[in-house]
Amino acid sequence: MVNDNSKIKKLYAIASSNRKYIFTLPLKNIIKIGKRNYEVKLKHDEKFGTYILFKNRKYPVEIIRSRQNKYEILFNDISYVFTIETPFSYKRMKVLNKQKGKKEKEIIKAPMPGKIVDVLAREGSQVLVGEPIIILEAMKMQNEIQSPVNGIALKINAKPGTIVNKDDVLVEIKVEA
């Protein structure tokens, strides 16, 4: 798609919080806050590992995941997910988002690896927001996994006594108003 990279004048970093940060190219080591410019430096040394130096403070930074133009960054112990868009791909993304419309199916994934202790909903039964559906045991604790929506439990993959990995699909729910 991008054959001549030098034509790209700016990039958008869209955070999962929906905030948009615009950076002009070539990327400078400067961040503007209010009317003042501050220098930002990416550094790496044996003692601290990789970090960003900003306003005389070091912030630890790491890449957790990266796929296509999507980046999950751990910055000062908090993770952020960004998609980086060129002006062209950004426009296209906005058009696509408009066409997508409302979500019909909610997929519940295991938030952590663990063991299914109990399944409280049945396939075809109605579930309400906040209703516990599955009890998952992980690291000493039993965790209730609740339905995030009102709807009908379409498919339940979780079975009591089985071990699940993080992000395994446990339940699919048909969303109802």
Residues making contact with other proteins (CB under 8 A): 1-2, 5, 8, 11, 13, 15, 17, 19, 21, 23, 25, 27, 31, 33, 40, 42, 44, 47-50, 52, 54, 58-69, 71, 73-80, 82, 84, 111-113, 117-118, 135, 138-143, 166
Q: Which amino acid is at 143?
A: N
Q: Least distance to other proteins from the beta carbon of 134, Å?
A: 12
Residue 15 or 104: the one with the smaller Cβ distance to other proteins is 15
- Distance separating alpha carbons of residues 50 and 39, to the nearest angstrom: 17
| Cα of 108 vs its chain's centroid, Å | 15
Tell me the one-letter amino acid at 168. D
The token pair that represents 136 in the structure block: 């998952």
Q: How many CB atoms lie within 10 A of CB 166?
A: 11
Nearer to other proteins, 58 or 105 (CB): 58
Instruction: State which residue, 79 or 104, has the beta carbon closest to other proteins.
Output: 79
